[in-house]
Every structure is written in structure tokens, then in C-alpha cells.
Amino acid sequence: MLVAERHKKIVEIVNSRLSIRVSELSDIFAVTEETIRRDLEKLESEGKLERSHGGAVSIQEPESEIHFSERVITNVPEKKAIAKEAAEQVHSSDRIILDASTTAWYMAKELPNIPLTVLTNSIKVVMELSKKEKIEVISTGGKLLSRSLSYVGPLAEQSIANYHVDKAFISCTGVHLIDGLSDSNELQALLKKQMMIRAENVYLMADSSKFGKRAFSQILPLQEVNAVITDKKIDPLSKQTLEEQNIKVLTAQLANMQEFQERKLPIIKSKNQKLRLQR
């Protein structure tokens, strides 16, 4: 096989699988790992892929990552309740990490305007916290993913690696009691792994619908989490398993107004009806 043909095939494989290790490519093309490393270096210089630890990742944005505008309207009452509970775990002078999840954005809205340092890869979080002058905000920079309005990639990972924080607040696509945390986007998963590593305490913000699910890219085992903030619908077995692993479970309560809206009461059409409801 000609070198140019091998390069073309490597890009196709990386884009179809999103990521692959050097050893796998070496087996596929029956060449040495050193040859594959040189191939990846050249392809990265041409902007066709990105090298990662021991392999390569696609620079094409995976379609599996749901757009922020869609995620932000999913399980809203649960996410807002979780975000409020998460914000209550933050104290003055804390140094924290917020990921690019919609729950982290809701949490940014809940954070009081007190002295804090917030490190994030989320454009939405940065914009929200820019309204609070006492909070120092550090953005990771990196490759922009338009679907999630966030930065990922080697530059973002290196930025996170430069800091040590008190608390990291992250979310993910799937929470499995055996396989741990996972995400639909590998670049997000790699960055969230780095966030967890650089934090003294890790808070997982996950509504009950995410438990028992496994997504494409593994982040880290559940044992790396210190506390889980979820909603009251979490199944008893999951909660028991978490607590048996010394993971604190914080159950967020839905706000009264949200519960009121979920009951779908009739629209109030007159002042008399409003007065009766208030009584």
C-alpha cells in the first residue's frame, strides 16, 4: 500500500471510530508503531486529525453529541434542582471546576456573587459568570465544539492540568454502577477525566435518568467520585450501591413552583380565580 493511500485510510478509520490507538493501526496496516506515529504526526500537521496519548482522535464533531439547545430543555426541573443543591456546596474563596454540561450552566446561574475562582471549558458558563464581578473566571481555551459551545482537545486538557482545585462539578451522559462514568463525546470525556484528576473533591451532577446507562467513551470509575447530586427519582439500589462505596448521595428537591407547573393546573383567567388559588 502506498503511503498516501495508507494516510487516507487512517483518516477514514479515525473519523469512523472517533479514536484509535497506535497499536491497533499498526496491526491493521502491518507496519511498525514508529511508522504509524510518523503518519499521525504528518496528518496532524495537515489538520486531518489530532494525536492523543497513544493514538489519534477525530477532529470531526461527532453527531452523537446532542446540541446544547436541545439538552437545555431536557429534564429541566431535575437539572435546576440539582444545580441549586450543587451551588450550596460552594463556599467563599473556593476554587472550582465547572464542565460544559447544561446542569453546570444552571449551577452558574445559582452561584452567589462571592469571591470564587471558576475554571471552565464552557462558553455559556463564562458568559453567565461574567455578570458576577466577585467571581474570577478562567477559560480553558482549545478547540471549539459548536454543538456544546465548549472547548476541548489537547490545549484545553493542558490548561486544566496547570491547576489544582478544591471541587469539580461535572455531569456526563451515562452513570453505570460497574463501568462508571461515560460520555457520548470522546474529547469531552478526556477533558472531564482531567477535571476529576485535578480536583480534591469531585461532585457528579446527574439526574436519575442517566443511571444504568453507558455511553461511547469512558471517563473514570465511580470510585473517583466523592459525592453524587441527583434527584429524588433515583432508584434505591443505585443509591444503596453508591453509599456502600462511600460516595455521598445528595438528593435535590424540586422547587414548589416547578412541581406546581408539572401538575398542569388550568390557566388562571380571572382575579377571583387567582385569589381562590392563593388561599
**Which amino acid is it at 8?**
K
Q: What is the pLDDT of residue 185?
A: 87
Which domains are seen in the chain, by residue range? 3-57 (1.10.10.10), 68-257 (3.40.50.1360)
Of the listed ranges 52-66, 155-169, 181-195, the one predicted with least confidence: 52-66
Distance CA 51, CA 42 (A): 10
Q: What would the pLDDT profile of 233-278 be if each residue is shown by its tens digit?
A: 999 999 999 999 999 999 998 765 444 344 443 433 333 443 333 4
| Least confident segment among 10-24, 36-50, 146-160 | 10-24
Decide: 230 and 251 in contact? Cβ < 8 Å: yes
198-227 per-position pLDDT tens digit:
999 999 999 998 998 888 889 999 999 999
pLDDT of residue 262: 46
141 pLDDT band (50/70/90 cuts)? Answer: very high
- CA-nearest of 123, 125, 122 to 106 is 125
Say what the pLDDT of residue 275 is: 35
What is the predicted pLDDT for the residue at 269?
Answer: 39
pLDDT recorded at residue 276 = 39
Q: Give the DSSP H/E element, type plus range, for residue 8.
A: helix 3-17
Quick check: 111 and 90 in contact, CB under 8 A? yes
Q: Please tell me the pTM assigned to this model.
A: 0.69
Cell numbers for 173: 451522559
> How far separated are the first and last CA of the chain, in Å rounded?
81
